[in-house]
């Protein structure tokens, strides 16, 4: 990794500036996640022409449009399936998927577990803001227990999904979690994910100040993020810290990694001799 | 594989796709279409392509569109329940104008219905299955050879017109084994979509270039475009401005009309002077063909109008033929879906009679003949 990449990284080189200002609410963490992704792309020297970003639907789904690359805003929950076709057809492209907690874990849950199992060379960023923000703040699979949303007026009675544990159990060969407060660490994580040959699943702890924060009286965005920090346990740290609304402290960093064969390469290696290009 | 073959319909479909240049197949097992996926899994690697069995019908449709967005001709195959699941992404392909081919081998419905029995119950789903107004082409072959020819045509129309194309046939046709002469794949005419060329700053991904079909940007060629199912302007970025929405929808909904000369296709038998004109597709059209010949032998002026392109329906040709007939008989293996369109196209609804069936059994020539003769006033004892 290039320790001086920040010196040469200008996010405007990677943005469609004509689309600015962006649509994200004040305090939303998705813009920081976008910055970390583009910083990592810069660090890995991935040419914009070769970068393909496939998004689903929701707030996370709208992030990709700001990237000056080949961008695809697909259907709800399906970006991993679209990306699977694109990456298999075009192994020369660097395919990144941006999805959200609802997009990836609820309507797209089946695609996630099979993408993990298949181990195709994709980097999947799941921006977790604990809510369906675009539709007005309904409960999502990662909404904390007890939380108020527009569809849990008495408080959420469902336990949350641990997306990283799910991805690892389903066979993802690279699983990591980062948070928007630690942008440089998040960049490092995404950069490692991009370099990884296989399916890299990265959960980004984002935040929804305007809808989720307001509904649950969580205060300003810095307050929310600092509270998140208190519940996080970077891989290098010690003890678990218990926090309300989180069953256990949440680990960040690279959570698991293996070097099992990448699907596309394995498929091509198994081709009959007559198929040699 | 060339020359004379004893071939099943579904197998012919797979071989035609390879000949047409299909190099990606995303599939999911479903009766009675699975032979297509199985054959593609065998053929595609040998042709340098990719076969993948996805986790569900939705994903297989998405993967096919993803591959096509990457510039590779792509296909999926399914049957009624799976076709229902593909509809959302099929609409995405229509909206984003990504070429792709969807084969639907029809079985008895609704719901799980009768997986191994033939039906023609997806006539309306193939036209209106996805939400919103959208263009779509549906081709409906009635023989093994025609499955081969129409599958190739489906790829070519899809590429040239940048629209999803459905190849729709019933289980009987899919599992029918017939002797066919396959052409040398190298001799098959392959059309390709129009690719963007020229400077990036001059390129608009959804520009109206006069023929209604914008040039497509290949990822990696430096255009770095945005593709979205949201209503978009010529730039490809979302818009809700009424004039820009109107321009997109007008072009999208009108683009097939501009090209009806290559879209419309139908076949007739004794239709020019028919007193009773039969309309049918697929295996029912094969039975109707026989019934019309028998009726002629009995002195009844019967004729057949068989749409090969089912949607958009070859309206003008049908109206011309129907105008000369006193009665129109629609024979179909559903509760009257094609009849709705035919009644719409005939000036007087009373002119149209229906012979429908939803039991999973084909409609035979004798039944169609009886209906023809009833309508012609030659009721049999």
What's the ipTM? Answer: 0.97
Query: How many beta-carbon contacts under 8 Å exist across A and B?
Result: 135
The confidence band for A3, taking pLDDT boundaries of 50, 70 and 90, is low
Task: Locate the domains of chain A by residue range.
Answer: 25-262
Q: Which residues in chain B are closer than 8 Å to A83, comparing Cβ atoms? A: 66
**In angstroms, rounded to a whole number, what is the distance separating the alpha carbons of residues B239 and B235?**
10
The confidence band for A251, taking pLDDT boundaries of 50, 70 and 90, is confident
Q: What pLDDT is recorded for position A126?
A: 98
Architecture of domain A25-262: 3-Layer(aba) Sandwich (3.40)
Q: Which residues in chain A are closer than 8 Å to B74, comparing Cβ atoms? A: 85, 89
Distance of CA B271 to the CA centre of its chain: 23
Q: Which of A20, A41, A70 to mutate to test the interface with B (most CBs of B within 10 A)?
A: A70
Indicate the Cα dihedral angle B149, B155, B157, B161, nearest 10°. 180
User: pLDDT digit string (tens) for B275-327?
Assistant: 999 999 999 999 999 999 999 999 999 999 999 999 999 999 999 999 999 99
CATH of span B3-187 = 3.40.50.970
Contact A68 B224 (CB under 8 A): yes
User: pLDDT digit string (tens) for A148-163?
Assistant: 999 999 999 999 989 9
**In angstroms, rounded to a whole number, what is the distance separating the alpha carbons of residues A177 and B340?**
56
Q: How many residues does chain B have?
A: 381
**In angstroms, rounded to a whole number, what is the distance separating the alpha carbons of residues B199 and B177?**
51
Question: In which residue ranges of chain B is CATH 3.40.50.920 found?
Answer: 266-375
What class does CATH assign to B266-375? alpha beta
Q: Which residues in chain A are closer than 8 Å to B63, comparing Cβ atoms? A: 81-82, 84-85, 88
Distance of CA B319 to the CA centre of its chain: 21
Q: Which residues in chain B are closer than 8 Å to A92, comparing Cβ atoms? A: 220
Residue of chain B minimizing CA distance to A266: B50
Secondary structure element (H or E) that encloses residue A53, with its range: strand A51-55
Question: In which residue ranges of chain B is CATH 3.40.50.970 found?
Answer: 3-187
A224 φ, ψ (degrees, to nearest 5): -65, -45
pTM: 0.96
Indicate the Cα dihedral angle A208, A211, A213, A216, nearest 10°. -140
Separation in Å, CA of A84 to nearest CA in chain B: 6
Of A19, A49, A113, the CB nearest to B220: A49
**In angstroms, rounded to a whole number, what is the distance separating the alpha carbons of residues A98 and A30?**
10
User: pLDDT digit string (tens) for B221-234?
Assistant: 999 999 999 999 99
How far does chain B reach from its first CA to its final CA, in angstroms? 51
C-alpha closest to that of B291 among B374, B381, B349:
B374
Task: Give SS3 for A262.
Answer: coil
Contact B67 A88 (CB under 8 A): yes
Give the bridge partners for B74, in sequence order: B24
């Amino acid at each position: 990794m290039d320790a001086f990449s920040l010196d040469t990284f200008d996010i405007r080189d990677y943005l469609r500036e004509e689309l600015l200002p962006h649509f994200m609410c004040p305090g939303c963490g998705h813009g920081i996640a976008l910055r970390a992704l583009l910083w990592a792309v810069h660090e890995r020297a991935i040419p914009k022409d070769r970068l393909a970003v496939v998004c689903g639907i929701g707030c996370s789904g709208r992030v990709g449009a700001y990237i000056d690359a080949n961008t695809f805003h697909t259907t709800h929950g399906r970006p991993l399936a679209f990306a699977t076709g694109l990456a298999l057809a075009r192994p020369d492209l660097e395919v990144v998927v941006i999805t959200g907690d609802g997009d990836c874990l609820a309507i797209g849950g089946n695609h996630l577990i099979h993408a993990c199992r298949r181990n195709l060379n994709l980097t999947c960023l799941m921006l977790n803001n604990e809510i369906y923000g675009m539709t007005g703040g309904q409960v999502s699979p990662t909404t904390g227990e007890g939380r108020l949303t527009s569809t849990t007026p008495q408080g959420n009675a469902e336990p949350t999904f641990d997306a990283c544990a799910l991805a690892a159990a389903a066979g993802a060969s690279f699983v990591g979690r980062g948070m928007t407060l630690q942008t440089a660490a998040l960049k490092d994580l995404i950069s490692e994910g991009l370099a990884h040959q296989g399916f890299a699943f990265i959960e980004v702890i984002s935040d929804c100040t305007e809808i989720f924060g307001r509904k649950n009286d969580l205060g300003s965005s810095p307050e929310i993020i600092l509270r998140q920090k208190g519940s996080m346990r970077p891989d290098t740290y010690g003890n678990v810290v218990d926090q309300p609304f989180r069953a256990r402290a949440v680990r960040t960093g690279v959570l698991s990694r293996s070097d099992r064969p990448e699907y596309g390469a394995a498929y091509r290696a198994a081709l009959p001799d007559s198929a040699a290009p | 594989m060339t020359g004379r073959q004893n071939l099943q319909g579904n197998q012919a479909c797979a071989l035609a796709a390879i000949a047409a240049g299909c190099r990606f197949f995303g599939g999911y097992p479903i009766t009675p279409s699975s032979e297509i996926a199985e054959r593609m899994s065998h053929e595609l690697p040998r042709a340098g392509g990719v076969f993948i069995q996805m986790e569900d019908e939705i994903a297989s449709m998405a993967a096919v569109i993803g591959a096509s967005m990457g510039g590779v001709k792509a296909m999926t195959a399914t049957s009624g329940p799976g076709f229902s699941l593909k509809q959302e992404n099929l609409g995405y392909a229509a909206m984003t104008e990504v070429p792709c081919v969807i084969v639907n081998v029809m079985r008895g419905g609704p719901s799980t219905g009768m997986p191994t029995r033939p039906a023609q119950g997806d006539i309306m789903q193939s036209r209106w299955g996805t939400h919103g107004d959208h263009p779509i082409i549906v081709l409906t072959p009635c023989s093994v050879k025609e499955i081969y020819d129409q599958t190739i045509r489906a790829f070519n129309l899809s590429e040239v017109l940048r629209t999803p194309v459905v190849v729709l046939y019933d289980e009987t046709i899919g599992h029918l084994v017939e002797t066919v002469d396959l052409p040398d794949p190298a001799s098959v005419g392959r059309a390709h979509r129009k690719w963007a060329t020229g400077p990036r700053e001059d390129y608009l991904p959804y520009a109206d270039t006069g023929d209604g079909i914008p040039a497509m940007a290949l990822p990696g060629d430096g255009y770095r475009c945005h593709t979205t199912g949201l209503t978009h302007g010529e730039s490809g970025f979302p818009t809700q401005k009424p004039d820009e929405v109107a321009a997109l929808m007008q072009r999208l909904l009108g683009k097939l009309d501009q090209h009806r000369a290559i879209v419309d296709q139908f076949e007739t038998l004794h239709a020019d002077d028919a007193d009773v004109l039969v309309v049918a597709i697929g295996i029912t059209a094969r039975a109707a063909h026989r019934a019309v010949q028998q009726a002629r032998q009995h002195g009844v002026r019967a004729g057949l109008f068989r749409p090969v392109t089912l949607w958009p329906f070859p309206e003008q040709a049908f109206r011309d033929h129907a105008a000369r007939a006193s009665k129109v008989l629609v024979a179909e293996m559903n509760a009257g879906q094609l009849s709705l369109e035919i009644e719409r196209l005939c000036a007087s609804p009373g002119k149209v009679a229906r012979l429908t069936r939803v039991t999973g059994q084909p409609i035979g020539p004798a039944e169609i003949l009886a209906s023809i003769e009833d309508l012609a006033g030659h009721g049999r004892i």
